[in-house]
Structures are given as C-alpha cells and as structure tokens.
Chain A
Amino acid sequence: MAEPADNIHGASIRLAGVYKIFGPRHLDFIEQVHRGMTKEELLEHNHVLGLSNINLDIPAGIIQVIMGLSGSGKSTLIRHINRLIEPSSGVVAVNGIDIMQMSPVELRDFRRNMTAMVFQKFALLPHWTVLDNASYGLKLRGVAKAERQDVAMRWIERVGLKGFENKFPNQLSGGMQQRVGLARALANDAPVLLMDEAFSALDPLIRVDMQTVLLDIQKEIRKTIVFITHDLDEALRLGDRIAILRDGKVVQKGTAQDIVLKPADDYVANFVKEVNRSRVLLVENIMQPLEAAAAPAGLPRLPARLLLDEAVRRLTGIGASEGLAVDEDGRPLGRVTLSDIVQAMVTPVDCPPEVAGMAAPATERAAAGA
C-alpha cells in the first residue's frame, strides 16, 4: 500500500481452505469433499456444498468486494468472518488470530470490539429510536449512556440523519434506515466492517448515494470493509479488490481493472461485457509506455490513475487529442491518445477473441436494457 500504515485502522482477514457443507452430518462428508466430491454428488446425500476451498487474504484498510449471484455463497462467506456461521473445515483469522479457537465469551468480545455488520434488510430494532439503534453496539459493550449517545450522535450527523435521532425506524424511508444501520456499525469503531448486500434493497439512485457516503467515510476511517453485492457496477465502483464467487468457489480475484481487462472465464466475461468501461479503466491501463526517458513536450498531463471518462472530459475540454500520463510525483509514464481511449471504451482489451465475439447483437442488447 502506498499510504503509511498508521493511517489504517482496519484489521487483516485471512480465510484459508474454508469449506462449508450444510446438513446434519456435514463433518462426515468433509473428507470426501476435500478429495474432490462435487456439489452434485453431495446433493445426493441431501447435503449442500455452501463454500468450497475459499482462500482469501484481505489486507487491512481496503474495501474487499465479494460479488456473486444469489446462491453463490456470498452471504455464507461473510458470516464466516464473525463466525455467525462456522466453517466445516478451514481457517478464519482476523489480525492473525484464529477466531475458530475462541470460546463463546471470547467470541462475544471479538464481535463487540473487532467487527460491525450492516444488513440487507437493515435489521434495526423497531422499538428503539434512531439514536438508541445507533448506540446499540456501544450499549452492548457497556459504554456509559452519555458517552455512547455522544458517539452515536456524531455518526448520525455524519451519515446525514441529523434531526431524525428521535424517530423510530419505521418512520424513515429505506435509504434512511440503512443510514441508521451504517451509523450503528460505524459507531462501534470496529476495525472490520461487514456489509451484507447493504445497499441491495435500496432504489438505484439512493444506492449510488450511499456508495458515495461509504467511499467518503472510508477515506477517513480506513477500515477493512468486506462488502457483499450481486451488482457488478457496485462491485467495480467500491472494491479495491474484488472476488467473484460462483457455486461456492472463488472464480476470480483482483482489482476492478483486472476483472474487466482479464476476465478469468466466460462466466466473468459475460458479466463484464455490459460494464461501462470508461468508469472502471484507468489511463495507466491503456497508455503506451514511453520509449525514451525524455517526455514529449507540450502534451497535457493526466494522472495515470485517472478514470478514462474523466480523461476524455479533460482532453476534449482543452481540444487536445493526446495526453501524457504522469505518476503521483509528476514523472511521465506514457502517452495516451483520444482514439486509444475510445477504442478501450468500446472493445474489450486483451480479451480472447471468442469472448470478444460473444458481445450480444444490438437487438438483444436493447431487449436486455429495456
């Protein structure tokens, strides 16, 4: 990470060889699953393979998005991190501490101090006011009333709910209720923030709004956020790292650019093809590296980590057709032309031809968009 480590308040999370089998005799089948029993074979014994050999290292202070469709096991996965669900085998460690070794009391302390969670359907206490809900985690921890209300009030204001602190959840809209859910989790000041489809139940506009709120707050708090979603656009916008889950397996992990530029298989490629690339790809992804150390003079400078749509806006704004990509210290790295950018926006880069050819015909795409 480029930032100094003392800015980071998060904790690292490691899942190694995590398997989860659902069913009364799950431990009897774990050996066979390790040896390669498939999901279908297991189903014949009336057991369901929820997660299969999950290996995920999440460094402290980043937003790790786990993306998958319903039934992919993403909600099961996030519940392993605070042990709401126990793995059938494997290691789950937070800050290097194996949470599977914790006693019930240790686990309770761990949940009170190390994690906070935001739920898809908000899961607020309907008989408590917004203020009481936001101070819930602190109350469980035994923080004195005045202090916890103080902290909760700060976060209520931060998520934009000032003036609503004495309302009950049912008097608020869905978006506002989830702001309460977010305030409740943030007030806990835990290093790990678990967000289970936190914005999936919200209207599209409010969802984008909440994403902005989260990204803004994350710049200050630098927690480790594990964010579950089924929406690729949301995943690409929020995730410093993205893992794509299918049938309980991680099919690809990487940055947003990795996912878009090098989809691991047809499944991911299919997801990615409808994505607005100009909002995912960066100048550095498509620039042509400079051959000589000398930079061509007179070209407008663009940060290498600028999104393509912003780069287009800047170039066309000044009537230029070519730009110079520079790093954070202003050192020139490469050059990029407007036509390169446009090309990258419409055709997949580095895509195997058969995947590139999979782009749906215009009529079909129109139907899907309707």
Chain B
Amino acid sequence: MDWLTNFPAMDLERLTAIKRAIDESFRSFTRAYGDVFEALFEPLKSFMIAAEKFMTGAPWPVTLGLILLLAWLASRNWRIVVGAAAALLLIGYLGMWDDTMKTIAMIIVATITSIIIGIPIGIIASRFRRVRLVLSPVLDVMQTMPSFVYLIPVVMLLGIGKVPGLIAVVIYAVPPVIRLTDLGIRLVDAETLEAADAFGSSPWQRLVNVQLPLALPTIMAGVNQTIMMALSMVVVASMIGVQGLGQPVLRAINSQYFTLGMFNGFAIVGIAIIFDRVSQAFGRRLQKHREVAHG
C-alpha cells in the first residue's frame, strides 16, 4: 500500500535525467546563440544606457524641471505638478535622488518598449479570434508565473545586467497593454465602424481613423496598468543587477535594515503615484471631446 501514502512519482533518476537534459540543451543553445541575442538587444541596451545617463548625468534641477514640465504637459493640472515636485524633492533630500532617477529611466524605457510591442499585438488579437484564443493563456502565464522563474532563462541567455532586467520587466508588464488594446478595439461602436465601411475605408484607414482613436481611453488604461506593474517589478529585477531603488530594498531585506527598506519602498510608492496621476490625467485629457455640452 506504499503507493497510497507516497505519491507514485516518476523514478527519481529518470526525472533528474530529464531535467538535466533540458538544462543541457538550453545551455548549449545559449552558448551557441547567446552572442546573437545580445547583438539583437543591443539597440535596447543603448536606449537604456542613454536614458539612464541622461537622468543621472544632468544637474538635478534640470531633470526635476524636465519631469515637472512633462507632468504639466500631460496633465495640465497644477495640483499634480506641485504634488510631484514635493514628492521628488523629499525623495532627493532623503538621499535617494540617483536611485530614483535610475528607476524612472528604467520605467520609461520599459513602458515605451511595452507600448511598441503591446499595441500591435493587441491590434492583431482584436482582428483574429484565433490569435486571441492562443494569446490569452500565454498572457496568463506571463502575469502569474513567479517572476524569479523567467529571470533564470533570461540570465542564462544574456547574463546579469540592465537588458535582462528590462526584458523581465517588459514580460511582466506588457500583458495589460495587449489585453486592453484588444478589448478597446473590439468595444468600438458598431455603427461608427459601419459608417467607416460605408464610406469606403481601407482596413488601414479604419484602424487609424476610427478603431485606435476610439479605443484610446481603454488603451491608456492599459498603459497606466503597465507602468504600475513595471514599478512593482523594479525590486525583483534588482536581483539580476538592475540598478535603482530596488537595490537598497534588496540590501535592506538581506541585512534587516528596516528604515532603509521603508525609505526606498516609499520612494517607489511616491513615483508610482506621480506616474499614475499624470498618466490618468493625460488619458482624461485625450477624451475632452467626449464631454457633453448639450443635453
């Protein structure tokens, strides 16, 4: 009755052999193609380095001014700008300026990459039902798989550093843009689409004139979520050498520095709120034309 109390698992030796075989083949794959992949991600790396260099290299009043200007242009809301200024000044005063700038650079690059990848995939998914059916479980895996797990192959392939960290962040953060682009396009009013067809739109004209603009509020909600998810990945990504606010948090966990952890944690919360409010205000501003003036 041994099989009742102990689960009849696969023979241990065979299981180890299988795992080892998979590992070996992946390892030889990385040995063979690691350089190719590294070359492939070279543009991403230069983008990342340039963003980080700019954010940390420029005198702090310049960067601060630039962030606040962007916040103003996007939101046109003084309260948001003043709040952002206060939060950033406090963060800087508490000695976390450089780390914060590195994190902001990372989030900006990750968000832009996610948008560039996510929106086209979302458009394709909205058009082809089959793509959507296949994509949906893949996105589920990307969002629920513990992020440490897919750090492993990324590190094996590209080593430790900014780019693998960025890839890990993008994998985790891209699903909302894809999902909400797809959803937003499918929710576009049927009669408006019919009008586009009736006047003889080509598929491209339909997409650019009608589907994307009308889906934009939903897409912006996806971008907002993506930013938030990217921020939450910062700490995990610091385990593979991404610099920024995640590193001190990691150090604080390892050495039980309570205050260090709290400070950096709140700095992450601070920039999360700034990003959230600014991107939401931007989304609302994009829909100004929807305001009903007439009853």
A123 at the interface (CB under 8 A from B): yes
Known: A84-B197, A108-B202. A121 touches B210 (CB 8 A): no
Tell whether, in the assembled complex, residue A111 and residue B293 are in contact, meaning their CB atoms are under 8 Å apart.
no
Tell whether, in the assembled complex, residue B191 and residue A170 are in contact, meaning their CB atoms are under 8 Å apart.
no
- Chain B residues contacting A173 (CB-CB under 8 Å) are 294-295
- Chain B residues contacting A127 (CB-CB under 8 Å) are 213-214, 289
- Chain B residues contacting A121 (CB-CB under 8 Å) are 191
Tell whether, in the assembled complex, residue A119 and residue B200 are in contact, meaning their CB atoms are under 8 Å apart.
no
Chain A interface size range: 20 to 34
- Chain B residues contacting A141 (CB-CB under 8 Å) are 200
Tell whether, in the assembled complex, residue B294 and residue A171 are in contact, meaning their CB atoms are under 8 Å apart.
yes
Tell whether, in the assembled complex, residue B294 and residue A111 are in contact, meaning their CB atoms are under 8 Å apart.
no
Tell whether, in the assembled complex, residue A117 and residue B214 are in contact, meaning their CB atoms are under 8 Å apart.
no
A112 at the interface (CB under 8 A from B): yes
Give, as a whole number of angstroms, the nearest-CB distance from A200 to chain B.
13
Per the bound structure, the CA–CA distance linking A116 and B292 in Å amounts to 27
Known: A125-B209, A170-B290. A111 touches B197 (CB 8 A): yes
Chain A residue nearest to B295 (CB atoms) is A173
Give, as a whole number of angstroms, the nearest-CB distance from A113 to chain B.
8
Per the bound structure, the CA–CA distance linking A115 and B202 in Å amounts to 16
Give, as a whole number of angstroms, the nearest-CB distance from B82 to chain A.
30
Chain B interface size range: 20 to 34
Known: A111-B197, A170-B293. A125 touches B202 (CB 8 A): no
Chain B residue nearest to A111 (CB atoms) is B200
Tell whether, in the assembled complex, residue A125 and residue B290 are in contact, meaning their CB atoms are under 8 Å apart.
no
B291 at the interface (CB under 8 A from A): yes
Q: CB-defined interface of B197-211 with A at 8 Å, one 1/0 digit per residue?
A: 111111001000110
- Chain B residues contacting A123 (CB-CB under 8 Å) are 189, 191-192, 194-195
- Chain A residues contacting B214 (CB-CB under 8 Å) are 125-127
- Chain A residues contacting B290 (CB-CB under 8 Å) are 126, 170
Chain A residue nearest to B294 (CB atoms) is A173
A140 at the interface (CB under 8 A from B): yes
Q: CB-defined interface of B260-295 with A at 8 Å, one 1/0 digit per residue?
A: 000000000000000000000000000001111111
- Chain A residues contacting B294 (CB-CB under 8 Å) are 170-173, 176
Give, as a whole number of angstroms, the nearest-CB distance from B113 to chain A.
27
Per the bound structure, the CA–CA distance linking A137 and B198 in Å amounts to 9
- Chain A residues contacting B197 (CB-CB under 8 Å) are 84, 111
Tell whether, in the assembled complex, residue A82 and residue B213 are in contact, meaning their CB atoms are under 8 Å apart.
no
Per the bound structure, the CA–CA distance linking A120 and B191 in Å amounts to 9
A29 at the interface (CB under 8 A from B): no
Tell whether, in the assembled complex, residue A112 and residue B200 are in contact, meaning their CB atoms are under 8 Å apart.
yes
Per the bound structure, the CA–CA distance linking A312 and B94 in Å amounts to 92
Per the bound structure, the CA–CA distance linking A330 and B213 in Å amounts to 60
- Chain B residues contacting A310 (CB-CB under 8 Å) are none
Q: CB-defined interface of A64-85 with B at 8 Å, one 1/0 digit per residue?
A: 0000000000000000001010
- Chain B residues contacting A116 (CB-CB under 8 Å) are 198-199
Name the interface residues of B208-238: CB closer than 8 Å to any CB of A: 209-210, 213-214
Per the bound structure, the CA–CA distance linking A185 and B162 in Å amounts to 55
- Chain A residues contacting B205 (CB-CB under 8 Å) are 140
Name the interface residues of A101-125: CB closer than 8 Å to any CB of B: 108-113, 115-117, 119-121, 123-125
Per the bound structure, the CA–CA distance linking A82 and B195 in Å amounts to 11
Known: A126-B214, A126-B289, A127-B213. A111 touches B195 (CB 8 A): no
Tell whether, in the assembled complex, residue B195 and residue A117 are in contact, meaning their CB atoms are under 8 Å apart.
yes
Q: CB-defined interface of A166-193 with B at 8 Å, one 1/0 digit per residue?
A: 0010111100100000001000100000
A136 at the interface (CB under 8 A from B): yes
Tell whether, in the assembled complex, residue B293 and residue A171 are in contact, meaning their CB atoms are under 8 Å apart.
yes
Per the bound structure, the CA–CA distance linking A136 and B210 in Å amounts to 11
Give, as a whole number of angstroms, the nearest-CB distance from A75 to chain B.
11
Chain B residue nearest to A169 (CB atoms) is B289
Chain B residue nearest to A171 (CB atoms) is B293
Per the bound structure, the CA–CA distance linking A176 and B292 in Å amounts to 14
Per the bound structure, the CA–CA distance linking A116 and B295 in Å amounts to 28
Give, as a whole number of angstroms, the nearest-CB distance from B9 to chain A.
48
- Chain A residues contacting B189 (CB-CB under 8 Å) are 123
- Chain A residues contacting B201 (CB-CB under 8 Å) are 108, 140
A residues apposed to B, CB below 8 Å: 82, 84, 108-113, 115-117, 119-121, 123-127, 136-137, 140-141, 168, 170-173, 176, 184, 188, 194
What are 23 A-B pairs at a CB distance below 8 A? Answer: A108-B201, A111-B198, A116-B199, A119-B191, A119-B194, A125-B209, A136-B199, A137-B199, A140-B199, A140-B200, A140-B205, A168-B289, A170-B289, A170-B290, A170-B292, A170-B294, A171-B291, A171-B292, A171-B293, A172-B294, A173-B295, A176-B294, A194-B198
* Pairs A-B, 9 closest by C-beta atoms: A112-B200, A111-B200, A123-B195, A168-B289, A171-B293, A117-B198, A123-B191, A137-B199, A108-B200
Task: Other than A140-B202, A141-B200, give 11 A-B pairs with Cβ distance below 8 A.
Answer: A84-B194, A84-B198, A108-B200, A112-B199, A117-B195, A119-B191, A126-B214, A136-B209, A170-B290, A170-B292, A171-B291
